[in-house]
């Protein structure tokens, strides 16, 4: 099970930003990980019989960078 499964957006956002839960990373480091780490990128090419994410990786990366650039606010 992936760490984001079953989480509401606010829960996931807080988890991503919490250094105690994210391996001590800054928001910038989290964005870098989510946009360029080979294992994360593999999720967009997981092989036959596996479900793809609902958004293309490029759009995901753009959205993550915009979120960070605008202060990485979490929804209520």
Interval 19-68: pLDDT, tens: 999 999 999 999 999 999 999 999 999 999 998 999 999 999 999 999 99
Let me know: does 35 contact 5? Beta carbons within 8 Å.
no
Global pTM reads: 0.85
pLDDT at 3 over 90: no
Would you state the pLDDT for residue 7? 92
Q: Which residues contact 67 (CB under 8 A, 6 or more apart)?
A: 31, 73
Would you state the pLDDT for residue 4? 81
Give percent above pLDDT 70 in the chain: 99
Of the candidates 26, 25, 35, 21, the one whose C-alpha atom is nearest the C-alpha of residue 65 is 35
Q: What are the backbone dihedrals phi and psi of residue 41, each rounded to the nearest 5 degrees, phi first?
A: -60, -30
Give the whole-angstrom CA distance, residue 53 versus residue 6: 15
């Amino acid at each position: 099970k992936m760490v984001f499964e079953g989480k509401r957006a606010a829960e996931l956002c807080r988890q991503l930003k919490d250094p105690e839960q994210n391996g001590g990373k800054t928001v910038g480091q989290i964005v870098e990980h989510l946009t360029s780490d080979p294992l994360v990128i593999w999720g967009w090419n997981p092989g036959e019989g596996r479900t793809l994410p609902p958004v293309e990786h490029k759009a995901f990366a753009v959205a993550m960078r915009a979120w960070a650039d605008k202060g990485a606010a979490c929804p209520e």
